[in-house]
Amino acid sequence: MKNTLFFIILIFFFSCTLNDIEEITGNKNFLPKAGNDTVIKIIEPPFYLSRDSSKYIVFPVAYNNSADRKTYYSSSSDYSYYSSIYSNFVFYNQQTNQYKSISEEDLYLTGIYTNYSLSCNLVFYLIVSEDSNKDGKKDSEDFLQLAFTDSEGNNFKVITSKQEHLLSWNYYPQDNYLIIRTLSDTNNDNMVNFTNDKLNIYKINLSDLKTDNLFDENFVNKLIK
């Protein structure tokens, strides 16, 4: 699956559209997979959680057993985005010297979005949680999901289904909800296919994770078919 990343920045919210990111994960074949391949992890240099934050810095924990692994970084006045292949992130409190990881287990994370200037207390992550195409490894060929924590790295939650591939997400911090587009694998071929798979558009309230279809299915079908 080829992946391309688009960034859209609007007043009062930021969003990210994912339409098949290409090199965003570097060598997609080296990560946890079947067999006896050695997986090496390293703690990378930290970055600030936000421009005005003197409290937290974040240490990425990256998989690093490939010579051509790449780390991508993008920033604007509203957000920062880091992309590589991560197993975890460590939140370090500079004021108390306390620290914690977002998960007790190794994950397969391909990106982290931190709020650089907006009044937002959430951090978003891109994650592959399952070998959806059943080829014996997790990589960029598998379904992508969206997850988040609070700004201290607590309460890591995956908020989209592992049976659906994340296409895009928009966060509206003033009202604390997301607009998410996904594709459902309706033909059960374990692949993303815009022709055969169903487009979903959800509104997710992040205070209680209540998820609703934004539009009636018949309405959507009339627009795109």
The domain segmentation of the chain, as residue ranges, is 3-27+40-162
Q: How far apart are CA 93 and CA 103, in angstroms?
A: 17
Residue 196: the pLDDT is 78
pLDDT for residue 223 = 87
pLDDT of 98 reads: 95
- Interatomic CA distance for residues 173 and 38, integer angstroms: 41
- The tens digit of pLDDT for each residue in 134-152 reads 888 887 778 899 999 998 9
Please report the pLDDT score of residue 15 as a whole number.
42
By the 10 Å C-beta count (0-12 exposed, 13-18 middle, 19+ buried), 165 is classed as buried
How far is residue 133's CA from residue 191's CA, in Å, rounded to a whole number? 6
What pLDDT is recorded for position 54? 67
**pLDDT below 50 — which residues of the chain?**
1-36, 66-68
> Given this model, what pLDDT does residue 70 score?
56
pLDDT of res. 68: 43
Exposure letters 116-148 (e unless 16+ CB within 10 A, then b): bebebebbbbbbbbebbbeeebbbbbbbbbbbb
Please tell me the predicted confidence (pLDDT) of residue 142: 86
With contact defined as beta carbons under 8 Å apart, do 172 and 163 qualify?
A: no
Whole-prediction pTM: 0.77
What pLDDT is recorded for position 5? 37
pLDDT for the residue numbered 49: 78
